[in-house]
Amino acid sequence: MSSQSQTSGAQAQDTGTTAPTRVPLILDTDIGDDIDDTWALAMLLGSPQVNLKLIVTSTDDTETKARLVAKILEKLGRIDVPIGTGVKTGDRKINQAKWLGEYSLSNYRGTIIKDGVQAAIDLIKASPSPITILAIGPETNLKEALRRDPSIATNARVVAMAGSIAIGYNGKKGRDAEYNVMRDVEAARAVYSAPWEITIAPLDVCGTLILEGARYENVKNSNAVRATTVIENYDLWANRSKYPAGASSVLYDTVAAYLTFSDALCEMETVKLVIDDKGRTIPDEKGRPVRCALRWKDRVAFEEVLVRALTTDVGA
């Protein structure tokens, strides 16, 4: 492992003399499974550092997931963000079906693109500056995009919620096969084989990130549309009863969302990693260098960033 103290060149920075650069972003999400994707989407839409250009749905019933994204964007007044339907891998029911209800795309005034993978390719190829791809689900869509056009890796970087280096689920010592990698090992290997920069939020840093106490109450009691939409979804989420009334579930994906525009609150290290057949991300001198957020410098400050993104009037 080699320590890396410099932030990514793609990070938005404010020089004090010009407007800060907004990170052009594609969100690839398996929203509708765990609720943290919904928190991460709302966080991004409340982060002025980010220019969200496309959302692509990932894994299982990606068509229903596109409907879920559309309803969220409509509620937040952000139908300007195009939605692409990703590779469908199954028909598993989403865990936010109660909130989605019978919502139909028939009256949706935003843009729905049937082939979300091609939309991502086209956006990357046409961009005058490198695009950041935020992958917060299994990386099936990215594998397909690389299969169709490997050259996209020259004009993009990947930030992902993925992997487990030294700490597993619930803060236990020792690595676990993390879900997003384990669910599609070959896709993760394809992403690791491409020549783009990769930054990950592994379980080491995000596996115990639960919002509770005053900060959770600030979101729950906020009248801001992003906060109310998140809490509505959380309260109707199929797994809500497994978590305390005054706390969130583990918000893994919000850390990766943060890493798209800053890593100042995390301790970053570049680790050479290989992915084994069980989906474990293992340090190996023959592996591929990956920028990893392994520890917090200031977790409380991050939670405040998250709360602010959900509860202020900036963005939507």
DSSP line for 257-273:
HHHTT--TTEEEEEEEE
C-alpha span between 237 and 293 (Å, rounded): 28
What is the dihedral sign for C-alpha 13, 15, 20, 22? negative
Task: Provide the whole-model pTM.
Answer: 0.93
E-state strands within the chain: 2-3, 23-29, 50-57, 83-84, 112-113, 131-135, 156-161, 198-201, 210-212, 247-250, 266-275, 281-283, 288-296
How far apart are alpha carbons 152 and 166 in whole angstroms?
31
Q: Which fold has domain 2-309?
A: Inosine-uridine Nucleoside N-ribohydrolase; Chain A (3.90.245)
Continuous segment of H or E residues that includes residue 215: helix 213-220
Exposure string over 119-139, b if 16+ CB within 10 A, otherwise e: bbbbbbeeeeebbbbbbbbbb
pLDDT tens across the length of the chain (316 residues): 333 333 333 444 333 334 468 999 999 999 999 999 999 999 999 999 999 999 999 999 999 999 999 999 999 999 999 999 999 999 999 999 999 999 999 989 999 999 999 999 999 999 999 999 999 999 999 999 999 999 999 999 999 999 999 999 999 999 999 999 999 999 999 999 999 999 999 999 999 999 999 999 999 999 999 999 999 999 999 999 999 999 999 999 999 999 999 999 999 999 999 999 999 999 999 999 999 999 999 999 999 999 999 999 754 3
